[in-house]
Amino acid sequence: MTRHYLDHASTSPVRPEVADAMAAALRHGIGDPGRIHHEGMVARHAVEEARERLAAMVGARSREVVFTSGATEAIATACHGAARRDDRRHSVLAAVEHSAVRRHAALGPTTVVGVDRTGRVDPDEVISAITSSTAVVHLQLANHEVGTIQPASEVAAACRDRDVLCHVDAAAAVGRVPVSFAALGCDLLSLSAHKFGGPPGIGALLVRRGLRLDPLLEGGEQERARRAGLENVPAVVGLGAVAAHLTADVLAAEAAAAIDLTDRIRTALTSLDGIELHGHPTGRLPHLVCAGIADVEPQAVLLGLDRIGVAAHSGSACASEGLEPSPVLDAMGVDAHRSLRLSVGWNSTVADVDAATAALPDILRDLRALSERPPENP
């Protein structure tokens, strides 16, 4: 059976150039980048080259890049450092932030700002929530479930005027749309390589030049004493490879291809009964579509799609890791229990999309028929 992978928003398969770069790094036996022998210097060069490539991709200085194990660690580091910078402990965040932001921010007092039905915050409400005790404002660049893009640069400018740190979670956006750390004007930005075809287990926290934060991981002087532990050199090399590949032209071409595919999905979904598209209609990421499906449990839809070879996801976490309804959809005021997310990536095709949209009408019809069948008498 041919498989059709439409869950790139969760994790995107490793690109060929990434696999090749990592394989070469592993074969050549790179040493400890902290050592001054030949093998160590080769490793140091590889790490710093990858740092420069990533910095160029996201509009940052290379010295602002701190490699982490992924966006979750980067977010934890941002929360940890912001809370220990001075006596301020209060955090402001949007109700649709990723669970990593919500959980780490909740270690201190927080103010959660609501969103409209498209999942977008009002920047004035975020700014109004800042108090004299606010240490940091968290605002994702784009939502991971519905794709809505947030007014991050506007909020970052207001934070700067108030001497409050601004952390932007860009994990869903980097590698999908142009991102410039300098242009955003935020203090901290988190990202993860596996979201756009890089290796799993590697990400970065961008830290504005001149900002000093206590490290989350202590025990060594790696990453200029900002993150202890031996660098994961093969993964860092892989991240550098995907950053070098994703030039402005390549990123634009992939975004255009993604829009064509997701527009095809949106058109097919809106022709079905009981379907409501979620997220902002225009201010959204190019690669994902989230839709509410009335009267049908998401697990059954996902299993039906998987049976015919389509990998998808539910916008609600209840279909995978947890049993709770989606906080994102709940904050938007839509059905937080029943949704479907289809997302495309660098190797997606029209055939992948058509396999899903062709199968959905029959899957939904059969599931609704089952739910309407009267119970049998014992």
| C-alpha–C-alpha distance, residues 249 and 242, integer Å | 14
Give 148's strand partners: 284
The answer to whether residues 280 and 348 touch, using CB atoms and an 8 Å cutoff, is: no
User: pLDDT tens for residues 225-275?
Assistant: 899 899 999 999 999 999 999 999 999 999 999 999 999 999 999 999 999
User: pLDDT tens for residues 5-62?
Assistant: 999 999 999 999 999 999 999 998 789 999 999 999 999 999 999 999 999 999 999 9
| C-alpha–C-alpha distance, residues 307 and 321, integer Å | 20
Please state, for a pLDDT cut of 70, what percent of the chain lies above it. 96
| C-alpha–C-alpha distance, residues 182 and 190, integer Å | 14
- For the chain, the residue count is 378
Among 277, 311, 301, 299, which Cα is nearest to 364's? 301
Among 293, 296, 271, which Cα is nearest to 342's? 293
Pairing assessment for the beta strands 65-68 and 165-169 based on DSSP bridges: unpaired
**What phi and psi values does residue 239 have, to the nearest 5 degrees?**
-65, -40
Give 311's strand partners: 5
Q: How high does pLDDT run on average in the chain?
A: 94
Helix (H) or strand (E) holding 229: none
| C-alpha–C-alpha distance, residues 198 and 201, integer Å | 9
Q: What is the mean pLDDT of residues 129-148?
A: 97
Residues identified as active-site: 318
- DSSP characters over 60-87: --GGGEEEESSHHHHHHHHHHHHHTSSS
Among 170, 157, 173, which Cα is nearest to 75's? 170
Domains of the chain are 4-12+248-372 (3.90.1150.10), 16-245 (3.40.640.10)
